[in-house]
Amino acid sequence: MVFGLVHMTRKILLIDDDRLQFRLTQAHVKSFQTDLYELEWSATYEEGIARLLSGEYAACLLDYQLGDRDGLQLIREALAQGCRTPIVFLTAETADRVNIEAMNAGALDYLVKGEITPRMIERSLRYALKLGDTLEALRRLATRDQLTGLLNRREFDRLLSDERDRALRFNHGLGLGFIDIDRFKAINDTYGHPAGDVVLREVARRVVEQVRTVDRVARFGGEEFALILVQTDQASAAEVVRRICRAFARDPIMATDTTALNVTVSGGVAMLPQDATTEAELIAAADKALYAAKERGRNRVEVFSELPTVRG
C-alpha cells in the first residue's frame, strides 16, 4: 500500500429512516473533491446500531428521528457498548437544543439537514475522523502501559472492579493471577536497562499469547503482571498461570542480539468468591500466593487457598 499517494476508500454508515436522505447524501459523497468514501445505509435503529457496533465503519452519519426512538438514544447506547466510531449527527431541527444534546451524548459534530452542502459534509467527516483518531490516541495513553502496550495499573483497577461486580452478580468465579519475573534486577544489572526492557516486552507478549481474548492482562508494577481471568474456576485459573510459567522455562529470551537468557517467572493465584470479597482482598491474596512461590524457590506457581497458613 502506498500511503499518501493512494487514498483508501473508507466506509461510512448512514443511519436514517428516510430513503430520500440516503439518495441525497450518496450524491453528496460521490461529488467530494478529495476524500473517497463508500456510503452504506441502515433505515432502522436496530440494524443501524448493530452495524455501527461491528466496528467496520470509519464514521457514522446519524439521523435524529428514527421511528419511535431517536439518534440521541442510539449514541448513548452505542457508547455504553464501547463504540469508538466517530459519529456526526444529522438533524432537521434548527433548535440548537438537540444539537447540543447530541454533542454532550458523544457526537463529534452535527449538521443541520436543510443546510448541508457537499463541501460541508466532506469537511465535517474529515474533522470527525481526525478528532476520532486523536481521542483514540488519548484513550490509549490513558489506559495502556507505554513499554509493553498492556493495560496500565489504573485501567486494571477499573476493570477488576467491573469484573468483580459482574462475577458476584452472575455467580461466576473470577481468578486473579500475578506473574513476577524472577531475579529481574540481575538482568538489568548485568546486561543493562535496555536489555531489561526487551525482556519485559517479550514477557508481556508471551503472557498475552497464553490467555483467552476475554481475559485481561495488565502491567501491575515494574516487572509484575496481573491477569484477570473471567468466568473460571480455581483449577482452570491455576492451570493458565502454570502454563505461562512452564512456557518461560522452555524458551530463552533474546535480550540482545547475542544474549539468550533463561528467564523464569513465579506466579500466584487467588479466586473470587472463595478467597476474597473486595478487589483489595483479592489482590492481597494473589500477592500472598506469589510471595509464597518466591519463597519456595521461584519458577513455580502457588494458589492462595492451598497455602498452609490459609488451610490452618
Residues that bind ligand GH3 in the complex, under the rule CB under 6 A: 147, 180-185, 188, 193, 196-197, 200, 222-223, 294, 298
Asked if residue 113 lies in contact with residue 90, where contact means CB atoms within 8 angstroms, the answer is yes
Find the shortest distance in angstroms from Cβ 199 to ligand GH3.
7
**The one among 180, 215, 275, 287 contacting Mg ion by CB under 5 A:** 180
Find the shortest distance in angstroms from Cβ 278 to Mg ion.
23
Helix (H) or strand (E) holding 231: none
Which part of the chain contacts Mg ion (CB under 5 A), choosing from 104-112, 183-191, 206-214, 270-278? 183-191
The residue among 183 and 212 lying less far from ligand GH3, judged by its C-beta, is: 183
The residue among 130 and 193 lying less far from ligand GH3, judged by its C-beta, is: 193
**The one among 184, 220, 248, 304 contacting Mg ion by CB under 5 A:** 184
CA dihedral 214, 218, 224, 227 (to 10 degrees): -20
The residue among 49 and 195 lying less far from Mg ion, judged by its C-beta, is: 195
The residue among 167 and 226 lying less far from Mg ion, judged by its C-beta, is: 226
What gap in Å lies between CA 129 and CA 180, rounded to an integer? 40
Q: Which does 200 bind (CB under 5 to 8 A by kind): ligand GH3, Mg ion, none?
A: ligand GH3
Please report how the helices 96-105 and 71-80 are oriented relative to each other, as an axis angle in degrees rounded to 10. Answer: 10
Find the shortest distance in angstroms from Cβ 185 to Mg ion.
7
Is the preceding omega at residue 118 within 30 degrees of 0, hence cis?
Answer: no
Cell numbers given for 255? 535480550
What gap in Å lies between CA 91 and CA 110, rounded to an integer? 7
Q: Which does 35 bind (CB under 5 to 8 A by kind): ligand GH3, Mg ion, none?
A: none
What gap in Å lies between CA 226 and CA 287, rounded to an integer? 10
Find the shortest distance in angstroms from Cβ 159 to Mg ion.
21
Residue matched to cell numbers 508494577:
221
Helices marked H in the chain: 19-30, 45-53, 71-80, 96-105, 118-143, 153-170, 184-191, 193-210, 234-250, 279-295, 308-311
Find the shortest distance in angstroms from Cβ 183 to ligand GH3.
5
Asked if residue 65 lies in contact with residue 93, where contact means CB atoms within 8 angstroms, the answer is no
The residue among 130 and 153 lying less far from Mg ion, judged by its C-beta, is: 153
Which part of the chain contacts Mg ion (CB under 5 A), choosing from 93-101, 173-181, 240-248, 272-280? 173-181
Q: Find the binding residues for Mg ion in span 185-224 (CB under 5 A).
A: 223-224
Q: Which does 155 bind (CB under 5 to 8 A by kind): Mg ion, ligand GH3, none?
A: none
Q: Is 41 in the site for Mg ion (CB under 5 A)?
A: no
